[in-house]
Amino acid sequence: MKNIPLNERVIFALDFADPKVAMEWVEKLDGDIKFFKVGLQLFLAGWWNVVDAIIQRGNKVMVDLKFFDIPETVQLAVQQLQHHGVTFATIHGNTPIIEAAVKEKSDLKILAVTVLTSFDESDMIELGMTGSISDLVLLRSRKALQLGCDGVVSSPLEALPLRNELGPNFLIVTPGIRPGLNRDVEKDDQRRVATAQQAILNGADHVVIGRPISTSSDPLYTVKTILDDIGAGLALSVGR
């Protein structure tokens, strides 16, 4: 099991249009959570200032821009990330794109996006694909790791087969985390979902969570509950 502090297991998704609001959430949560995701919306609103501000408070940042472009452009984009202390960056694409990103990663960890958690089997059929989502995730993950990526982004449902097939020596980051699914919590646009504890039991290293915390009437209590669930999952994993 990787030696990852509990307060870095949750990556809080700062899915806000206003950098000021995003930093208010960082200040509210970073006593308990030390890892934050900056995606397209916030990055375009706050540019590097918000990334730098989060890191200056002693936190880690996952820049989730899912780079997908010609290889040279991706390579130059990854170079820019090196100057800001970013921990994780996401990419998507074929062999030349992945190779270009990996070439420039230095201490940055590159995560390959497999299949978005908003996709389900009906989307695969619509795109003309005959295999299952699980097959596609495994195929893309195997290729990404062979090319030098540090890990992958997948739904928690695919984490277990990925661990079983590809071993322990890579990172699995799982969005699509929804607490209390046994109580039929609304899944919104995420279709392939699980609880934080189940994701950890399936082999995830980090879970990405946004709305279940940001829309909670008591965000700090929700964070504590999620961390307790992850801690319990880690304990059960050790006992296996």
Residue 219: the pLDDT is 95
66 catalytically annotated: yes
The per-residue pLDDT for range 187-223, each reduced to its tens digit, is: 454 555 689 999 999 999 999 999 999 999 999 999 9
Sequence-distant (6+) residues with CB within 8 A of 68 are 74, 91, 92, 93, 97
pLDDT at 129: 66
Partner residues linked to 112 by β-bridges:
91, 152
To which H or E segment does residue 219 belong? helix 219-238
83-97 residue pLDDT tens: 899 999 999 989 999
E strand residue ranges, the chain? 10-13, 35-39, 60-67, 88-91, 109-113, 151-153, 171-174, 206-209
**Which ranges of 147-218 does DSSP label H, i.e. alpha helix?**
156-166, 196-201, 211-214
Q: Which of 66, 103, 109, 143 is catalytic?
A: 66
Domains and CATH numbers, the chain: 6-238 (3.20.20.70)
Question: Which CA distances in Å does 63 have to 24, 136, 150, 184?
Answer: 18, 24, 15, 31
Mean residue pLDDT across the chain: 88
Q: What pTM was estimated for this model as a whole?
A: 0.89
Strands (E), 54-178: 60-67, 88-91, 109-113, 151-153, 171-174
Average pLDDT over residues 171-181: 83
Mean of pLDDT values over 99-122: 84
3-state secondary structure at position 103:
helix
For 6-53, the pLDDT digits (tens) are 999 999 999 999 999 999 999 999 999 999 999 999 999 988 999 999
